[in-house]
């Protein structure tokens, strides 16, 4: 496939606006916001966010701001980890072409970085297909990671992190190797489905002959603005899912999620490890269960996510509380009990998942569930101990199947002028 440096000064064949940063698209949207009387659009804010959704005082989210939110491709960490999870997502693994070497990988990562930087800023990219034309960046994030096999394929085995050692086999696993692992991993998220697809296709095209898609999965979450106020999303079992997730304000959040400066290997400073699990939900069985039984599986109320021991969604679980029968109110095998950090020697992870639905199986059951993605500084201290425990006795196990798995080393964010993974590939 032919590649050229994007012309950053004129409109491309797609007819999208001239490439001069996110401003053109955002200006259009801001103009629209002004003429429709929307007040208070805040530019700036936490982390890598360049522009944030505006809320009007009394009428909820301003529709025109959904597209205008942009995240930065550059920073200490890659985007798509602490940035809010979007409504649409694609996860894809690529395998390098046979005979690939470090030079080929460097070229691939350079092209992917340029593509991601353009698209996240709302600019057209090289040989743009025009699919995202008219839309703003729409909170697009693109995140890149390296799988175990990447290091053998590129002669970099000595630089492979110990933390990337294959995950242990869990007794309930029914994994499909063809939809698991891979040399390289790409996570795409956006609040617009066309923007998300456009990015996926652009990255596939930019891969050219260097790498081909090994597997790809499409996911979704609630669309911002669908609820009267911002709320924790629900999964396809109908549960409020994400209440007790790690928060950036938590003590030692960075230490739990990111490899520190001075950590091993040095090229992973600011990076994180992503565990990806495709978990199918046995929804026919789950939906047969009465509400009380469903709530006992998790240990929380379905309506509002509050613990069975009372209070509201964010009230801490009272794991020691017993009922009149002397039994724990939150059952011994409840998912929220088994996963609680205090039950796992403090093991914790940042969950950032998408739901998925891929049609119906031959028996009529939905092929649907959770594209579970979690982030941690070391999966041997995050995902693995918790999943070991879940595997032994989680009430949820009867209603789910782990069907695919991947573990990826996601390096820190590139500095301006750098491509993602450059410190690994070029040894600085």
Ligand X SMILES: C=CC1=C(C)c2cc3[nH]c(cc4nc(cc5[nH]c(cc1n2)c(C)c5CCC(=O)O)C(CCC(=O)O)=C4C)c(C)c3C=C
Active-site residues, by number, are 241
Return d(Cα 267, Cα 152) in angstroms, integer.
17
- In the bound state with ligand X, the residue whose beta carbon lies nearer, of 188 and 279, is 279
Strands (E), 316-399: 350-351, 354-360, 366-376
For ligand X, the binding residue among 41, 386, 404, 410 (CB under 6 A) is 386
Q: Which residue has 């009272």 as its token pair?
A: 318
* Best CA proximity match to 382, nearest among 256, 258, 216: 256
Question: Is there binding between residue 376 and ligand X (CB under 6 A)?
Answer: no
Encoded one letter per residue, x for contact with ligand X by CB under 6 A and - for no contact, window 317-336 reads: ------------------xx
Q: Running DSSP on this structure, what letter comes out for residue 49?
A: B
For ligand X, the binding residue among 24, 208, 242, 366 (CB under 6 A) is 242
* Best CA proximity match to 25, nearest among 53, 56, 60, 67: 67
Q: Which stretch binds ligand X (CB under 6 A): 35-43, 151-159, 218-226, 380-388?
A: 380-388
Return d(Cα 423, Cα 428) in angstroms, integer.
4
- 391's tokens: 């595997």
For ligand X, the binding residue among 78, 115, 218, 339 (CB under 6 A) is 339
Question: Is there binding between residue 87 and ligand X (CB under 6 A)?
Answer: no
Q: Which stretch binds ligand X (CB under 6 A): 54-62, 111-119, 250-258, 379-387?
A: 379-387
Question: Is there binding between residue 258 and ligand X (CB under 6 A)?
Answer: no
Return d(Cα 149, Cα 139) in angstroms, integer.
31
The residues, any chain, with a CB within 8 Å of residue 335's CB and separated by 6 or more, are 297, 298, 299, 390, 394, 395, 396
* Best CA proximity match to 116, nearest among 88, 66, 78: 78
For ligand X, the binding residue among 370, 410, 424, 425 (CB under 6 A) is 370
Question: Is there binding between residue 294 and ligand X (CB under 6 A)?
Answer: no
Q: What's the min distance (Å) between Cβ of 336 and ligand X?
A: 5
Return d(Cα 87, Cα 193) in angstroms, integer.
8
Return d(Cα 152, Cα 105) in angstroms, integer.
12
Question: Is the Cβ–Cβ distance between 128 and 13 less than 8 Å?
Answer: yes
Question: Is there binding between residue 94 and ligand X (CB under 6 A)?
Answer: no
Counting Cα atoms < 13 Å in the Cβ hemisphere of 178 gives 0
Encoded one letter per residue, x for contact with ligand X by CB under 6 A and - for no contact, window 400-419 reads: x-------------------
Q: Which stretch binds ligand X (CB under 6 A): 43-51, 132-140, 221-229, 384-392?
A: 384-392
- 163's tokens: 């933390």
Q: Which stretch binds ligand X (CB under 6 A): 99-107, 109-117, 173-181, 338-346?
A: 338-346
Return d(Cα 345, Cα 349) in angstroms, integer.
13
- In the bound state with ligand X, the residue whose beta carbon lies nearer, of 211 and 340, is 340
For ligand X, the binding residue among 53, 180, 239, 294 (CB under 6 A) is 239
For ligand X, the binding residue among 55, 190, 334, 390 (CB under 6 A) is 390
Binding site for ligand X (CB under 6 A): 235, 237, 239, 241-245, 277, 279, 281, 298, 300, 305, 335-336, 339-341, 369-370, 372, 383, 386-387, 390, 396, 400
């Amino acid at each position: 496939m032919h590649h050229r440096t994007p012309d950053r000064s004129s409109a491309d064949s797609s007819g999208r606006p001239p490439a001069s940063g996110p401003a053109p698209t955002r200006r259009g949207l801001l103009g629209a916001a002004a003429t429709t009387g929307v007040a208070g659009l805040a530019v700036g804010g936490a982390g890598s966010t360049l522009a944030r959704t505006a809320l009007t005082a009394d009428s909820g989210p301003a529709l025109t701001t959904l597209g205008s939110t942009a995240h930065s491709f550059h920073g200490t960490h890659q985007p798509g980890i602490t940035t809010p999870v979007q409504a649409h997502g694609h996860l894809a693994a690529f395998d390098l072409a046979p005979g690939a070497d470090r030079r080929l990988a460097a070229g691939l990562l350079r092209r992917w970085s340029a593509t991601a930087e353009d698209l996240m800023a709302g600019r057209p990219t090289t040989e743009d297909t025009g699919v995202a034309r008219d839309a703003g960046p729409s909170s697009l994030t693109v995140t890149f990671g390296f799988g175990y096999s990447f290091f053998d394929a590129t002669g970099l085995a000595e630089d492979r992190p110990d933390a990337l050692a294959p995950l242990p086999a869990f007794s309930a696993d029914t994994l499909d190797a063809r939809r698991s692992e891979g040399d390289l991993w790409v996570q795409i998220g956006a609040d617009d489905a066309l923007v998300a697809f456009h990015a996926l296709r652009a990255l596939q095209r930019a891969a050219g002959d260097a790498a081909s898609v090994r597997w790809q999965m499409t996911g979704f979450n609630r669309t911002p603005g669908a609820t009267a106020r911002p709320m924790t999303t629900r999964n396809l079992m109908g549960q409020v899912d994400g209440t007790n997730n790690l928060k950036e304000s938590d003590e030692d959040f960075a230490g739990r999620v990111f490899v520190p400066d001075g950590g091993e290997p040095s090229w992973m400073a600011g990076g994180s490890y992503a565990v990806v699990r495709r978990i199918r939900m046995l929804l026919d069985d789950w939906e047969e269960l009465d509400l009380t039984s469903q709530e006992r599986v998790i240990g929380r109320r379905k309506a509002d996510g509050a613990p069975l021991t009372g209070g509201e969604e964010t009230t801490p679980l009272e794991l020691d509380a017993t009922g009149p029968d002397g039994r724990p109110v939150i059952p011994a095998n409840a998912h929220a009990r088994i996963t609680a950090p205090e039950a796992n020697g403090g093991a914790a992870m940042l969950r950032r998942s998408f739901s998925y639905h891929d049609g119906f199986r031959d028996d009529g059951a939905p092929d649907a569930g959770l594209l579970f993605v979690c982030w941690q500084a070391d999966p041997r201290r995050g995902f693995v101990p918790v999943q070991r425990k879940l595997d032994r006795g989680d009430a949820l196990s009867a209603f789910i199947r782990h069907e695919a798995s991947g573990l990826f080393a996601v390096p820190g964010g590139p500095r301006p002028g750098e491509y993602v993974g450059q410190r690994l590939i070029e040894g600085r």
